[in-house]
Amino acid sequence: MATDKVIGIDLGTTNSCVAIVENGVPTVIPNRGGYKTTPSMVAVTEAGKRLVGHIAKRQAITNAENTVYAAKRLIGRKWHSPQVRNAIATSSYRTVEGPHNDVRIVLRDKEYSVPEISAMVLQEMRVIAEDYLGAPVGKAVITVPAYFNDNQRQATRDAGEIAGLDIIRIINEPTAAALSYGFGRNLEKTVAVYDFGGGTFDISILEIGQNGVFRVIATAGDTFLGGEDVDARLIDWLVQEFKREHDIDLRQDRMALQRLKDAAEKAKCELSSVRETEVNLPFIISSERNEALHLQKPISRALLEQLSLDLIERTIDICRQTLEDAELEKRDVEEVLLVGGMTRMPRIQQAVGEFFEREPSKGVHPDESVALGAAIQGYALVGEEHEMVLLDVTPHALGIVTQGGYFEELIPQNTTVPTHRQKIFTTSRENQTAVKILVMQGEHERADQNELLGEFILTGLRRAPKGEVEIEVTFEINADGIVSVRAKDLDTGLEQSIQVTASSGLTRDEISSMMHEAKDQLVDRRSSEELEAAKQEAERLVGEIERLFPQVEQIVAQSDFGREAIDKARVIVDRAKNAVTRKDVAMIKEQIEGLARTQRMFKGVVAKTI
Amino acid sequence: MPSIVGQGFLNLPLDAREGFLLSRIDGSLTEAALTELTGLDHAFVVASLDKLWSLGLIDFASEDDAPKKAAPVLTTRAAEKAVTSFSDAGGDLTPEQRIWVEATSIELTTCTHYELLRVPHDADKKAVKRAYYELASRCHPDRFFRKDLGDYKLRLEIIFGRITLAHDTLTNRTQREDYDRYLADRETARSLEHALDASLIEDEIALAEATVVESSRDPGAPAPTSIKPNAFDSREAPTEPRFVPAAASSQTLLARRLLGKRPGSIPPPAPVEPSAGGTEQAMDSLKRRYHQRTESARRAQAAKYERQGEEATGRGDLVAAANAFRIAISLLPDDEELLAKQGAAQKAADAILCETYERQANYEEKAANFREAARNWCRVARIKTADAHAHERAANALVRSDGDLHQAKELGMRAVELEPQHVAHRVTLANVYLAAGLPLNAKRELLTAKQFAPQDATVSAMLRRIAEST
Ligand SMILES: Nc1ncnc2c1ncn2[C@@H]1O[C@H](COP(=O)(O)OP(=O)(O)OP(=O)(O)O)[C@@H](O)[C@H]1O
Ligand SMILES: [Mg+2]
């Protein structure tokens, strides 16, 4: 029986986490290894086996080219975007352009879309929850960075669908953290959530009011600013130092680069608790004279801080801007919550404290609160007793492209959803009989700097001089964040509309075929566990029977009955062996019973005669 | 704000105040509490509750012999009774929820942001937010996640949008200031209209007249001093009109006043007949003396009101001034000087009134509330009879709000008459004609416009369009 419970998944750049509300209490579900977070890593082994999580991370160095990390940085982005160019320049896995300007990742000669990769992580999280609950899970709330645009959100939704989940809502990570902070506490407070994770930075300012209302006042961020970037600074520095000493560019060697990455991150984390550490990578590369070279460098906290200072400064600038957008003073913020692994860095805690002029709260867990919040939202949506309502805002402005390539805003940034807005536009050319409505998202005045969400054409306009035909454009965002746009010719009353299903880079058909593949994969995986167990049992029995064969043969060879029994036993053993080679679980299980009977019988025969 | 069209409940004979009252009923508030909460007149609340009860919308909680003292509730039975009259599909909503949605929908069309959130005018940010959260937690679409809401889905979204607008407006300082100015204008206009309402000074005029008669009879008697200042002091004007059917009646009164008819003035005294003979002469002189006494008493009274008028003018209370002069004139109807002073005061008061109408109209136009904008532009046009712009805006707003096209035509024509060479006026008038299905008239108007501006793109385009469609 599938449970009605909704799981909350924090699909992070580096780590993912799954939670659920049980008996009104939000709880993080640990994975089989007992860890509460699971690395968002996916790998394919030489044998074509898929690995997700810790196991994928462990083999990352030796299988760097077939191990995907930080796929979130690519999700819902265009192949040609500077962010993608940037990200793949340093990645150890191979990427190619997909059929819809999207990114495809090549693992062992097979191309995967980014949502497919994310789906593998989601599926893993789903299995963790199912193991824990002992029942299939169907519904989930997934979190995304607040500053994700609709294409990225849609791609995340698609990933959920591919993983066979009904994604009942996508919510923002900092909002989720605030939910886990305020849930059931009956607060009246204005809080700021500073979320600095592995790949993204987000800041949200919320108001928690009575009646369990959580209202987002303003939100902003940078989807390309995270711990990865701090690591990159450290890697750069190490590469430079090494080059200076040995005149060798470590970047040329993928394996060395992967080791550097690991070491840099490790050093960064260590420096959160100690003032000095060392990066120690023996045999990192061979010199031209074929002698082994080692990388050994002491790194101080001060150095790390100096290398990442401007990144931290950038987060503070965004905080300043957001506070302004919220029309609030620093003193209006009554609590500052720190979320994301990077906030363990003392320098960051200090910078945030200085900016908000208040000690950040220790009230939420930096790694778990996002998943907990997602679970809470899921619980509140489907549950009967509504203990909370989340009033969220649009993180980006929505509008259309007007003459000259300008972006005309219809729904401003930070507007509470659901909402709808109207504006009247006119034709821009003489005798224009059709208008193309390009739906855009972003804050730039120039349309091409913003994200295209969708387009449609309103035809059959009356021939008229420019500026004369009036077209009323209506934008609507519903509670699910789905954008619909309607254009109406005020002259004729003709109307055209679309529901903007932001393009995740995948078509409907692709998603459903990927979904089926993912299902197959899951059956595969599940059954392989089962197979393993059955195989072992069958092999044990076969081994024992075979061991007894000579003795039994000796004892019963004289009687016809005995010979018949031995022949039957041989058939059973052969069938079982056959089933094992064919990896047919059902067949193996069928044979196990016969094997067990034969084994019992053989044992009995032997015992009697001794 | 899109207006809500629906059947069933929305066709019930309720007005906004009754809808407002209905939306406040929560089963715990008694009649008295409701009166206090809504700020409505107690008698009105009682009558409305009776009406709601008779419509089957509400019931009274207690069963003792004074049921009306108990808190009215939307009992399930009563609610169902009402619900069966809805032709709309309400899906999974409970009858109580439907009633709430319906009643709030009615309320939306007329109430202020403050009334909607049920907060007083001086409510601070915190209070506004609380009220908003309370309502939002009730009507946010997530409360009905994946429920079938039928026709109510849209309405809930509209309500949520409107309360959010109210919250956003009232918690933003500049927006709230703008909105408050708008409301203040509305309130000023209403109380000015009320204060200038001629019927209000009828008593005062009668009193003044009585005083004259009194003091002519007995010259020794002191002039009465019991003049109720608040009868014509605008600052003290009762703020009642919020809930009296003010809009209609004071509007007609305003119109009447603008037409120059002043009810309540008394006829001039009959000319004294000449006569002959001793006794007659004695009678005559007696009469003359009486007459003289009356006259001087009358003049004294008039002078007093005139002085009051001047004082009021001095302190800028134009309504009080206009009213005082009007009383003075009722005593001395032929006094040119008084007439001039009264005219000036009246004009000044009208100017203020007009300004408030204009500001309201502009705010409403910005908020795309063309129905209200049309009303206010019409008022401006009625006062500023020579203001072509006001007439044109009024006509335009009427067309845009599907208002009275006949009136729009009159206004448009007047704008054109005032500024015949102004192309925009003719275009608006042409639009009125088109809306009214009179393309030939529109064409004529546009052809005239073309003479003044042969290059105007809009004019030629409209002409072409008319040619195409006929
Ligand atoms: N003790 C520590 N000191 C400094 N950095 C740390 C520490 N622990 C973890 N991090 C860093 O935090 C980052 C991961 O944080 P987190 O798990 O919150 O990110 P995420 O949720 O996966 O990413 P995102 O939210 O950006 O998608 C990594 O860059 C990691 O190196
Ligand atoms: Mg995170």
Instruction: Answer yes or no: do B72 and B115 share one domain.
Output: no
Q: How are beta strands A276-286 and A292-300 bridged, if at all?
A: antiparallel
Rg of chain B over all Cα atoms, to the nearest angstrom: 29
pLDDT greater than 80 at residue A250: yes
Instruction: Answer yes or no: do B158 and B210 share one domain.
Output: no
Bridge partners for A106 per DSSP:
A94, A111
| CATH code of B397's domain | 1.25.40.10
What is the torsion angle, in degrees rounded to the nearest 10, for the CA atoms of residue A449, residue A452, residue A456 and residue A457?
10
Q: Using the mean position of ligand 1's atoms as its centre, give its distance from the Cα of residue A198 in Å.
A: 4
Distances (CA, A) of A586 to A204, A589, B321: 53, 5, 103
Q: pTM of this prediction?
A: 0.73
What are A530-546's pLDDT values in tens digits?
778 888 888 888 888 88
SS (H, E, C) B288-310: HHHHHHHHHHHHHHHHHHHHHHH
Bridge partners for A421 per DSSP:
A475
Name the token pair of A30.
Answer: 């640990």
What are A227-244's pLDDT values in tens digits?
999 999 999 999 999 999
Question: What average pLDDT does range B196-222 have in this prediction?
Answer: 71
> Among B352, B377, B410, where does a domain finish?
B352
Name the token pair of A499.
Answer: 């529901």
Mutate to test the pocket of ligand 1, among A9, A10, A11, A14 (most ligand atoms within 8 A of CB): A14
Q: Give the model's pLDDT for residue B113.
A: 94
Instruction: Answer yes or no: do B373 and B348 share one domain.
Output: no
Instruction: Answer yes or no: do B323 and B256 share one domain.
Output: yes
Ligand closest in space to the Cα of A15: 1
| CATH code of B125's domain | 1.10.287.110
Q: Using the mean position of ligand 1's atoms as its centre, give its distance from the Cα of residue A79 in Å.
A: 26
Instruction: Answer yes or no: do B260 and B323 share one domain.
Output: yes
Instruction: Answer yes or no: do B289 and B379 share one domain.
Output: no
- CATH superfamily assigned to domain A3-226+310-391: ATPase, nucleotide binding domain (3.30.420.40)
Query: Is A584 an active-site residue?
Result: no
Sign, CA dihedral A312-A313-A317-A323, equals: positive
User: Residue B355: what residue type?
Assistant: E
Query: Is A577 an active-site residue?
Result: no
Question: What average pLDDT does range A410-433 have in this prediction?
Answer: 86
pLDDT band for B253, please (50, 70, 90 cuts): very low
Where does B367-438 have alpha helices with state H? 370-383, 388-400, 405-418, 423-435
d(CA A301, CA A307): 10
Q: Whose CA is nearest to atom 4 of ligand 1?
A: A269
Q: Whose CA is nearest to atom 25 of ligand 1?
A: A197
The region of weakest confidence among B219-223, B232-236, B307-311 is: B232-236
* A293 close to A248: Cβ distance less than 8 angstroms: yes
Only one residue has tokens 């208002």, namely B403
Q: Chain A residue with minimal CA distance to B458?
A: A468
Q: Using the mean position of ligand 1's atoms as its centre, give its distance from the Cα of residue A103 in Å.
A: 24
Q: Using the mean position of ligand 1's atoms as its centre, give its distance from the Cα of residue A38 in Å.
A: 12
d(CA A78, CA A72): 13
**Exposed/middle/buried for A1, CB within 10 Å: 0-12, 13-18, 19+?**
exposed
Q: Using the mean position of ligand 1's atoms as its centre, give its distance from the Cα of residue A261 in Å.
A: 14
Instruction: Answer yes or no: do B321 and B440 share one domain.
Output: no
> Among B320, B352, B384, where does a domain finish?
B352
B129 and A207: CB-CB below 8 Å?
A: yes
CA atoms within 13 A on the CB side of A451: 22
pLDDT band for B344, please (50, 70, 90 cuts): confident
Among B145, B161, B164, beta carbon nearest to A381: B145
What are B174-195's pLDDT values in tens digits?
999 999 999 998 888 888 887 7
Better-scored residue on pLDDT, B223 or A410:
A410
d(CA A558, CA B78): 94
Cβ-Cβ pairs closer than 8 A, A with B, add up to: 65
What are A63-98's pLDDT values in tens digits?
889 999 999 999 999 999 998 998 888 788 999 999
A465 and B465: CB-CB below 8 Å?
A: no
User: Residue A452: what residue type?
Assistant: L
pLDDT greater than 50 at residue A272: yes
Better-scored residue on pLDDT, A307 or B154:
A307
Which atom of ligand 1 is found nearest the CA of A273? 1
A355: helix, coil or strand?
helix
CATH of A227-308, one of 3.40.50.300, 3.90.640.10, 3.90.1170.10, 3.40.980.10: 3.90.640.10
What are B17-71's pLDDT values in tens digits?
777 777 777 666 778 878 877 777 888 888 888 877 777 677 776 545 444 556 6
d(CA A413, CA A421): 13
Instruction: Answer yes or no: do B347 and B301 share one domain.
Output: yes
Rounded to 5°, the CA angle A374-A376-A380 comes to: 120
Domain count, chain B: 4
Fold agreement between A3-226+310-391 and A227-308: no
d(CA B392, CA B424): 8
Instruction: Answer yes or no: do B325 and B426 share one domain.
Output: no
What are A14-71's pLDDT values in tens digits?
999 999 999 889 999 999 889 999 999 999 988 888 999 999 998 888 888 999 999 9
Name the token pair of A194.
Answer: 């500073």
Instruction: Answer yes or no: do B145 and B220 share one domain.
Output: no
Instruction: Answer yes or no: do B290 and B387 share one domain.
Output: no
- Ligand 1 first shell, C-beta below 6 A: A 12-15, 72, 173, 197-200, 226-228, 265, 268-269, 272, 340-342, 344-345, 367
Residue B220 lies in a domain: yes
Q: Give the model's pLDDT for residue A522.
A: 57
* A305 close to A162: Cβ distance less than 8 angstroms: no
Q: Whose CA is nearest to atom 9 of ligand 1?
A: A341
Query: What are the two backbone dihedrals, phi and then psi, of residue A154, each rounded to the nearest 5 degrees?
Result: -65, -40
B136 and A213: CB-CB below 8 Å?
A: yes
| CATH code of B35's domain | 1.10.10.10
User: Mutating which of B124, B142, B431, B446 best tests the A interface, going by the most A Cβ atoms within 10 A?
Assistant: B142
Residue B101 lies in a domain: no
What is residue B324's DSSP assignment?
A: H
- For A:356-375, CB contacts with B below 8 A are none
> Among B85, B119, B137, where does a domain finish?
B85
Chain A positions in Cβ-Cβ contact with residue B136 (cut-off 8 Å): 211, 213, 215, 389, 391
Which atom of ligand 1 is found nearest the CA of A195? 25
Locate the domains of chain A by residue range: 3-226+310-391, 227-308, 396-500, 508-609
Instruction: Answer yes or no: do B117 and B166 share one domain.
Output: yes
A479 and B141: CB-CB below 8 Å?
A: yes
Rounded to 5°, the CA angle A153-A385-A154 comes to: 5
B457 and A467: CB-CB below 8 Å?
A: yes
Mutate to test the pocket of ligand 1, among A147, A153, A268, A271 (most ligand atoms within 8 A of CB): A268
CATH architecture classification, A396-500: Sandwich (2.60)
Minimal C-alpha gap between B60 and chain A (Å):
28
The region of weakest confidence among A104-113, A188-197, B8-17 is: B8-17
Query: Is A10 an active-site residue?
Result: yes
A407: helix, coil or strand?
strand
Chain B positions in Cβ-Cβ contact with residue A168 (cut-off 8 Å): 145-146
pLDDT greater than 70 at residue A526: no
Q: Chain B residue with minimal CA distance to A466?
A: B457
Residue B183 lies in a domain: no
Q: Using the mean position of ligand 2's atoms as its centre, give its distance from the Cα of residue A403 in Å.
A: 40
Q: Chain B residue with minimal CA distance to A384?
A: B143
From A116, A158, A161, A195, the catalytic residue: A195
User: Mutating which of A141, A389, A430 best tests the B interface, going by the most B Cβ atoms within 10 A?
Assistant: A389
Structural domain for B395, as ranges: 368-469
Query: Is A195 an active-site residue?
Result: yes
Query: What are the two backbone dihedrals, phi and then psi, of residue A543, each rounded to the nearest 5 degrees?
Result: -60, -45
Query: What are the two backbone dihedrals, phi and then psi, of residue A346, each rounded to the nearest 5 degrees?
Result: -55, -35
Residue B92 lies in a domain: no
